[in-house]
């Protein structure tokens, strides 16, 4: 997800019950006091600059103003979905913020502080907003102290937004999060989510975000009940309120009445009992009722999941996303650090395979360490279509080689496969394989212990181009991992992390299913391993269709494995094949939904 700030609206907490609906992204019920991410000031140490840096700092300030303006306009656009009374409260506030970043005293003052006091842009904004807020509070002739205080808070709030956009810093104040609270934010980046401690957190609710963006994936991985894309949240959920989030339905209740609270508590207990029942499936094999073996593996986002993955009875890791290694840090992890991480995962998985995907930078996966070290270009106007995944790694062979070397060395400790993200053509696979083999030769010369046969080198099928060229790519790759999250996004031209178009994001659209079928058949024809590791794999109701299309290997968030296994064990392959034929004859997405979801 692109840089999205954490912010909110000022105002007194309303106390009447409010029900809001968002996108259900991580099941479970969370009950707790609101902890608003907007309460935390952005962390920006004071910084002076040299005279030669004035122009660059001014450009940074202008970019942050531009970004803030876009965010505020987007928020204003969403107001229409709210009750009229709420709109009337918020609209003037947004207009005031927009005015303050127009040709205003704040902007002129911040520019002047950069140029004359030689301050970094964030320091200039902090000083200027503090000065304006102090002047507002000290203004004579005002007999309305409450209005003055409100106005001063508005100035500070727009300052915080500008600073957050300037520092591009992930939200690092989770230490202050009271135990059992529900985190409420305008938006949460994947890097922010990676810092959450699920054992201290009752739930997460945000105003922005889609169902299969990386923040959603991360929250599912952490097992935190969550709803994203909840319009009107920041106005309704003020600090001091109690909030209930149902991550299975997306229903969010602010200031719940006593009966609603009691029902939510009952559901929390029922959910825990359900999980205990499912845990008993751990030791049972993933075999269909007619004896066909199905491989159920886990996706892994962060090492903290390892225990959950082994407890869930995963038959290996089908997708180890390595972006976490590069998040929330200013320097790049070297070969030794990466090797230690991969080796510990490979050893923990014992004799089960670990599929390590090389860094997938770009799109919504923005990683500061790469930018800070000048490794990557500025994200372009359309990051999802720009230098992403394998495209970036081929441009930065030193980064690619370091990671491959660490993975190859870890392969001496267990079973490993290497996976390339965002492939769209044969040349990329060939170029990557050349580098892969070169790195292996270099390591052998260095005397490193490597497996005799190099680990299989596979590719993600996550673009329509790769899916439609799957027959050709199958001749170059050692295995396919079908990534339906991006495949859905690119096929339907629907941003997977954008709540505004979330209703159009449909992995069951016939266009997506046909691409999955085409790629699967291309692999099966030449008996090449193929698995599906997008979020579709975690939905038990899709198992009959996917088995019917010929897939036998799935990778999903660990907590989904028991339910999927339960489903696998009830099915017969012939029935699944018949069902898949019926589904694939349909051209109307609504009819497919009806067939699969029975609604």
Q: Output the residue with the shortest Cβ distance to Mg ion.
A: 486
To the nearest whole angstrom, how small is the minimum distance from the Cβ of residue 531 to ligand PEP?
Answer: 10
Residue number, 281 or 422, with CB nearest to Mg ion: 422
| Least distance from ligand PEP to the Cβ atom of residue 555, Å | 8
Of the CA atoms within 13 Å of residue 509, those in its CB half-sphere come to 18
Question: Per CB under 6 A, does 512 bind ligand PEP?
Answer: no
User: Is residue 362 near Mg ion by the rule CB under 5 A?
Assistant: no
Looking at the Cβ atoms of 8 and 483, the one nearer to ligand PEP is 483
561/555 Cα distance (integer angstroms): 9
- What angle do the packed helices 121-138 and 54-78 form, to 10 degrees? 60
CB 36 within 8 A of CB 238: yes
Is 462 among the residues that bind Mg ion (CB under 5 A)?
yes
Place of tokens 């904004």: 125
301 belongs to the binding site for Mg ion (CB under 5 A): no
Contacted by 534, from Mg ion, ligand PEP, none: CB < 5 to 8 Å by type: ligand PEP
- Residue 321 binds: one of ligand PEP, Mg ion, none (C-beta under 5 to 8 A by kind): ligand PEP
Distance CA 39, CA 237 (A): 12
User: E strands within 462-573?
Assistant: 480-482, 530-532, 553-557
Q: Least Å distance between CB 486 and ligand PEP?
A: 3
Q: How far is the CB of 236 from ligand PEP (least distance, A)?
A: 30
* Cβ–Cβ < 8 Å for 34, 206: no
Residue 383 interacts with ligand PEP (CB under 6 A): yes or no: no
Closer residue to ligand PEP, CB minimum distance, 217 or 474: 217
Determine whether 527 is exposed, middle or buried from the number of CB atoms within 10 Å of its CB (0-12, 13-18, 19+). Answer: exposed
Task: Report in angstroms how near the CB of residue 319 gets to ligand PEP at its nearest.
Answer: 6
Is the CB of 106 or the CB of 384 nearer to Mg ion? 384
* Rg, the chain, Cα only: 25
> Any contact of residue 483 with Mg ion (CB under 5 A)?
yes
Residues 358 to 377: which contact ligand PEP by CB under 6 A?
A: 360
- Of 512 and 568, the one with the shorter C-beta distance to ligand PEP is 512
Per-residue binder mask for ligand PEP (CB under 6 A), 460-489, x = binder: --x--------------------xxxx---
Q: Which residues contact 567 (CB under 8 A, 6 or more apart)?
A: 540, 541, 543, 544
Adjacent-strand bridge partners of 119: 48
Residue that is written with structure tokens 């996303």 in the block:
321
Say whether residue 486 binds Mg ion (CB under 5 A).
Answer: yes
Choose between 231 and 484: whose C-beta lies nearer to Mg ion.
484
Q: Is 214 part of the annotated catalytic residue set?
A: yes
Task: Give the residue among 420, 356, 422 at the shortest CA–CA distance from 384.
Answer: 422
Residues 142-181 binding Mg ion (CB under 5 A) are none
Three-state secondary-structure class, residue 425: coil
Provide DSSP, 361-418. -BTTB--HHHHHTT-SPPP-SSGGGSS-THHHHHH-HHHHHHHHHHHHHHGGGS-EEE
State which of positions 308-347 bind ligand PEP (CB under 6 A): 319, 321
Smallest separation, CB 414 to ligand PEP (Å)? 22
533 sits near ligand PEP (criterion: CB under 6 A): yes
Q: Could you tell which of Mg ion, ligand PEP, none binds residue 484, using a CB distance below 5 to 8 A set by kind?
A: ligand PEP
**Could you say which of 141, 214, 293, 509 is catalytic?**
214
Count of residues that interact with ligand PEP, criterion CB under 6 A: 11
Q: Specify the stretch interacting with Mg ion by CB under 5 A; choose among 96-104, 165-173, 438-446, 484-492.
A: 484-492
Pairing between β-strand 226-228 and β-strand 242-246 as defined by DSSP bridges: unpaired
Alpha-carbon gap, residue 376 to 396, rounded angstroms: 8
| Least separation in angstroms between CB 489 and Mg ion | 8
Binding mask of the shown chain, residues 274 to 313, with x at each position contacting ligand PEP by CB under 6 A? ----------------------------------------
Based on CB atoms, which residue is closest to ligand PEP, 42 or 533? 533
The distance of closest approach from Cβ of residue 462 to Mg ion in the complex, given in angstroms and rounded to an integer, is 4
Q: Which residues of 192-228 are buried (b: 16+ CB within 10 A; e: fewer)?
A: bbbbbebeebbbbbbbbbbbbbbbbbbbbbbbbbbbb
CB of 487 to ligand PEP, least distance (A): 6
Q: What are phi and psi of 225, to 5 degrees?
A: -55, 130
Q: Cα(8)–Cα(176) distance, rounded to whole angstroms?
A: 18
Least Cβ distance, residue 533 to ligand PEP (angstroms): 5
Q: Which of 141, 293, 533, 576 is catalytic?
A: 533
* DSSP, res 119: B
CA 319 to CA 317: how far, in whole Å?
A: 6
Handedness of CA 313, 317, 319, 322 (dihedral sign): positive
By the rule CB under 6 A, 534 interacts with ligand PEP? yes
Q: What is the DSSP string of 66-111?
A: HHHHHHHHHHHHHGGGS-HHHHHHHHHHHHHHHHHTSS-HHHHHHH
User: Is 531 among the residues that bind ligand PEP (CB under 6 A)?
Assistant: no
Binding mask 201-240 for ligand PEP (x = CB under 6 A): ----------------x-----------------------
Q: Are 228 and 210 in contact (CB under 8 A)?
A: yes
Among residues 101 and 379, whose Cβ is nearest to ligand PEP? 379
Nearer to ligand PEP, 57 or 192 (CB): 192
Residues that bind ligand PEP (CB under 6 A): 217, 319, 321, 360, 462, 483-486, 533-534
Q: Give the binding site for Mg ion (CB under 5 A).
A: 462, 483, 486
Residues with a catalytic annotation lie at 214, 533
């Amino acid at each position: 997800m692109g840089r999205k700030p954490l912010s909110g609206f000022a105002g007194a907490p309303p106390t009447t019950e409010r029900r809001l609906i968002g996108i259900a992204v991580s099941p479970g019920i969370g009950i707790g006091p609101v902890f608003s991410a907007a309460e935390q000031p952005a962390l920006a140490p004071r910084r002076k600059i040299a005279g030669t840096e004035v122009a660059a700092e001014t450009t940074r300030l202008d970019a942050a103003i531009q970004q803030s303006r876009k965010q505020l306009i987007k928020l204003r656009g969403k107001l229409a979905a709210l009750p009229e009374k709420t709109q009337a409260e918020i609209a003037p506030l947004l207009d005031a913020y927009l005015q303050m970043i127009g040709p205003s005293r704040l902007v002129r003052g911040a520019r002047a502080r950069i140029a004359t006091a030689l301050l970094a842009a964030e320091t200039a904004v902090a000083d200027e907003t503090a000065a304006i807020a102090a002047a507002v509070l000290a203004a004579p002739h005002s007999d309305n102290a409450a209005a003055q205080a409100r106005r001063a808070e508005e100035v500070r709030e727009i300052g915080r937004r500008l600073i957050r956009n300037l520092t591009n810093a992930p939200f690092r104040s989770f230490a202050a999060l009271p135990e059992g609270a529900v985190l409420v934010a305008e938006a949460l980046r994947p890097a922010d989510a990676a810092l959450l401690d699920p054992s201290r957190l009752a739930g997460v609710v945000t105003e922005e975000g889609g169902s299969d963006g990386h923040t959603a994936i991360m929250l599912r991985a952490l097992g935190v009940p969550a709803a994203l894309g909840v319009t009107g949240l920041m106005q309704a959920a003020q600090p001091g309120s109690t909030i209930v989030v149902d991550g299975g339905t997306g229903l969010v209740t602010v200031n719940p009445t006593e009966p609603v609270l009691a029902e939510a508590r009952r559901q929390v207990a029922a959910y825990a009992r359900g999980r205990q029942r499912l845990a008993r499936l751990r030791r049972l094999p993933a075999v269909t009722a007619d004896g066909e073996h199905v491989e159920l593996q886990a996706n892994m986002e962060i090492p903290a999941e390892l225990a959950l993955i082994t407890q869930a009875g995963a038959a290996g890791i089908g997708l180890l996303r390595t972006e976490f290694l590069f998040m929330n840090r200013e320097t790049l992890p070297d070969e030794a650090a990466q090797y230690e991480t991969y080796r510990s995962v490979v050893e923990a998985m014992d004799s089960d395979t670990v599929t390590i995907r090389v860094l997938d930078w770009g799109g919504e996966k923005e990683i500061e360490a790469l930018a800070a070290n000048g490794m990557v270009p500025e994200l372009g106007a359309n990051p999802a279509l720009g230098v992403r995944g394998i495209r970036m790694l081929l441009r930065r062979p030193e980064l690619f080689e370091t990671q491959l070397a660490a993975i190859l060395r870890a392969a001496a400790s267990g079973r490993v496969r290497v996976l390339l993200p965002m492939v769209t053509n044969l040349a990329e696979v060939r170029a990557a394989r050349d580098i892969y083999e070169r790195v292996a030769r270099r390591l052998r010369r260095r005397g490193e212990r490597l497996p005799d046969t190099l680990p299989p080198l596979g590719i993600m099928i996550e673009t329509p181009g790769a899916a439609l060229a799957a027959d050709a790519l199958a001749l170059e790759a050692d295995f396919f991992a079908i990534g339906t999250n991006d495949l859905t996004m690119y096929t339907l031209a629907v941003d997977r992390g954008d709540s505004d178009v979330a209703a159009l994001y449909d992995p069951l659209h016939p266009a997506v299913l046909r691409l999955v079928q085409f790629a699967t058949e291309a692999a099966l024809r030449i008996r090449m391993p193929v698995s599906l590791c997008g979020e579709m794999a975690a939905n038990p109701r899709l198992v009959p269709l996917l088995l019917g299309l010929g897939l036998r290997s799935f990778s999903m968030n660990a907590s989904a494995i028991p339910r999927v296994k339960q489903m696998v064990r009830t099915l017969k392959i012939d029935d699944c094949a018949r069902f898949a034929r019926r589904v694939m004859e349909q051209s109307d997405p609504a009819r497919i939904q009806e067939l699969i979801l029975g609604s």
